[in-house]
């Protein structure tokens, strides 16, 4: 082994609720976990402002602060938390070979993947500037803050339709911005949208800019057919054009679905490779909540612990 090579019992890749929870359980089981935080330490919750739906925080908490709490708890039990980004893997083991920052080699008896997923964005400057100040990629997380207000949601698939009907229960009015002259959503979801009185679907529309200085005050949209432009009077803007799981480096090693989410054995966190487990949004395109990610992080650590015990690795 070169001096840059290190052997660890449990390597955790990623640092959102799934990664940190896996670390808490793995550390308490004396697996001496090493966790690499990746490009976005704390994961998607660090770009969220207030979190009101995580159990145990009756007054709510801020996303970044909550991730600091998770991190502190993982460190308290002895997790070795490091800056760094996994750049390639070789899962032909066990043990498995992981390269960090293109230079450091780690040989790991078990690997827990918690690299999460990233929301797809429209790519507007105003969208990034107002992210967390009226712009959100999660209606279930943030819809509550827009009660009795008028909001817009962009997207045309089942997720967008589901989130639009969810918002319609809370908000006075919901504009649904659809780029083409039809939705991609299933017939059932389209009927649900059409039968909701306070949703107005704007077909053939594109968002040009989200208006607002410090918070969202409107959305400038363009009609591709009539070539007309107008500003929607909204205080919230939701983006529901999909998520991208952060799985590129695992291609060729791990089984994935058509969208790149890792496939795991039902009722566990096991991937198709022995000793490699997946937790959180990297393997979950259905629920995508902090609490479900944390739960699967717990499962991954227990799966890793049992695997090591079965292999007689102490």
Q: Which of 109, 142, 284, 303 is catalytic?
A: 142
Last residue of a domain, one of 184, 206, 239: 239
Question: What is the H or E stretch that residue 229 is in?
Answer: strand 229-232
Q: Which of 10, 109, 141, 303 is catalytic?
A: 141
Last residue of a domain, one of 239, 274, 293: 239
Range of the domain at 277: 5-118+243-311
List, for residues 187-236, the tens digit of each pLDDT value.
999 999 999 999 999 999 999 999 999 999 999 999 999 999 999 999 99
Same structural domain for residues 125 and 233? yes
Q: Which of 80, 138, 158, 298 is catalytic?
A: 138
CA distances from 279 to 154, 156, 288 (A): 28, 28, 11
Q: Is 141 a catalytic residue?
A: yes
Same structural domain for residues 114 and 262? yes
List, for residues 36-74, the tens digit of each pLDDT value.
998 777 777 776 667 888 999 999 998 889 999 999 999
Same structural domain for residues 58 and 92? yes
Same structural domain for residues 186 and 142? yes
Same structural domain for residues 232 and 274? no
3-state DSSP assignment of residue 297: helix
pLDDT band for 141, please (50, 70, 90 cuts). confident
pLDDT value of residue 43: 79
Q: How many domains does the chain have?
A: 2
Q: Is 233 a catalytic residue?
A: no
142-154 average pLDDT score: 96
Same structural domain for residues 114 and 250? yes
Same structural domain for residues 83 and 229? no
Q: Is 90 a catalytic residue?
A: no
Domain with residue 285: its CATH number is 3.50.50.60
Same structural domain for residues 234 and 293? no
Is residue 113 predicted with pLDDT exceeding 70? yes
Identify whether the C-beta of residue 167 lies closer than 8 Å to the C-beta of residue 191.
Answer: no
Same structural domain for residues 145 and 283? no
pTM above 0.85, yes or no: no
Identify whether the C-beta of residue 261 lies closer than 8 Å to the C-beta of residue 285.
Answer: yes
Same structural domain for residues 171 and 66? no
């Amino acid at each position: 082994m070169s001096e840059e090579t290190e052997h660890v019992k449990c390597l955790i890749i990623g640092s959102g609720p799934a990664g940190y929870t896996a670390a808490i359980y793995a550390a308490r089981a004396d697996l001496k976990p090493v966790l690499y935080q990746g490009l976005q330490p704390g994961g998607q919750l660090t770009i969220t402002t207030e979190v009101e739906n995580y159990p145990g925080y009756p007054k709510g908490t801020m996303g970044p602060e909550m991730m600091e709490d998770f991190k502190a708890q993982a460190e308290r039990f002895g997790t070795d938390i490091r800056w760094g980004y996994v750049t390639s893997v070789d899962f032909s083991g066990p043990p498995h070979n992981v390269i960090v920052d293109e230079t450091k080699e780690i040989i790991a008896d078990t690997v827990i993947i918690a690299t999460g997923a990233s929301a797809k964005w429209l790519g507007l400057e105003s969208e990034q500037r107002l992210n967390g100040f009226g712009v959100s990629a999660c209606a279930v997380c943030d819809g509550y803050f827009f009660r009795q207000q008028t909001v817009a949601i962009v997207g045309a698939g089942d997720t967008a339709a589901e989130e639009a009907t969810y918002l319609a229960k809370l908000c006075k009015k919901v504009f649904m911005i659809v780029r083409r002259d039809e939705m991609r959503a299933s017939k059932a979801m389209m009927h649900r949208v059409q039968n909701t009185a306070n949703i107005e679907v704007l077909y053939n529309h594109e968002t040009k800019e989200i208006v607002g200085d410090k918070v969202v005050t409107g959305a400038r949209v363009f009609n591709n057919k009539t070539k007309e432009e107008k500003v929607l009077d909204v205080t919230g803007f939701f983006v529901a054009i999909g998520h991208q799981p952060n799985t590129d480096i695992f291609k060729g090693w791990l089984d994935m679905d058509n969208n790149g989410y890792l496939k795991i054995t039902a009722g566990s966190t096991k991937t198709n490779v022995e000793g490699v487990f997946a937790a959180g949004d990297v393997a979950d395109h259905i629920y995508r909540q902090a609490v479900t990610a944390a739960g699967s992080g717990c499962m991954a650590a227990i799966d890793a612990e049992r695997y090591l015990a079965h292999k007689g690795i102490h």
